[in-house]
Chains A and B, each alone.
Chain A
């Protein structure tokens, strides 16, 4: 049984927003971001001690977003160079991993999604509108049994995950693979906690539908046993 961390309220908490740069402030630091006068020595120390330890997670995130090794390389490099350039808007001792993930996510949206090899099947806004509409609340639970997915291997799960629209893929990666809290995800994605929760719920339903297709195409379904 999972441990209870804390009671989550429905209202998005944006109180410690200053810990992370605003969406485009990473390209254009805003006036209200207190610029910290780090010396060069401090900058390199922060970079090496607080940023570099997350590089494997960052690479994994980049690879899961782009599904391409070369793009993942470029995205991680761009992100780390941006992080260094804007290091004065990072407050030492705060959540460096979330700060870096947010920069990577923004770089991906601004620079990579356009040229991504992935066909732009689903428009970002369309996805939000469709899946956040009231109608979506009337959805059913996916008819799938734990036993029928338990034999799936990592590659099959990865393929199912990759077939999801990128916004849904992202919340699953952040929550289930990287273990971010909903509050951290809200900051990384610039959305309220309520949206994190509902997007995650829908992402999982879509993923289960994909897994169900996989499970039945692999002959794991129990249709014949009935």
Chain B
């Protein structure tokens, strides 16, 4: 297991592509190798995943107020 990653900035970019569902098969295969052999890459992967989940799952989703929906619907009816 590698204690130091010689190209952590590139590895980080690749990890983000993968978590965003934007990576190529080749990048995914490379990540799999790194996740078995490189400690900093494993840690970066967990951190990126955690931060993404904080944003996705833990932040409150604001819903549009009913009043605003009603206002918009009534305003467009006066257009033609």
Contact = CB atoms under 8 A, between A and B. Distances in A.
A40 interface: yes
Given A55-B69, A145-B43, A182-B22, A44 B76 contact: yes
Interface residues of B, number: 44
A153 B21 contact: no
A147 B71 CA distance: 45
Given A4-B25, A52-B69, A72-B62, A145 B76 contact: no
A81 B78 CA distance: 11
Interface stretch (A21-29, A57-65, A114-122): A57-65
B38 interface: no
A1 B28 CA distance: 10
A137 B46 CA distance: 22
Contacts of B69: 52, 55
Interface in B9-47: 9, 12-13, 16-25, 28, 43-44, 46-47
A201 B24 contact: no
Question: Chain B binding site: helix, strand, loop or mixed by DSSP?
Answer: helix
Contact of A208 (B13, B28, B51, B65): B51
A81 B74 CA distance: 11
Given A146-B43, A177-B55, A8 B17 contact: yes
13 contacts: A4-B21, A4-B25, A8-B17, A55-B72, A56-B61, A84-B79, A145-B47, A146-B46, A146-B49, A149-B54, A152-B54, A172-B55, A182-B22
Interface of B: 8-9, 12-13, 16-25, 28, 43-44, 46-52, 54-56, 58-65, 68-69, 71-73, 75-76, 79-80
Interface of A: 1-5, 7-8, 40, 44, 47, 52, 55-56, 58-60, 63-64, 72-73, 76-77, 80-81, 84-85, 137, 139-141, 144-146, 149-150, 152-155, 157-158, 161, 172, 175-177, 181-182, 197, 200-201, 204, 207-208, 211
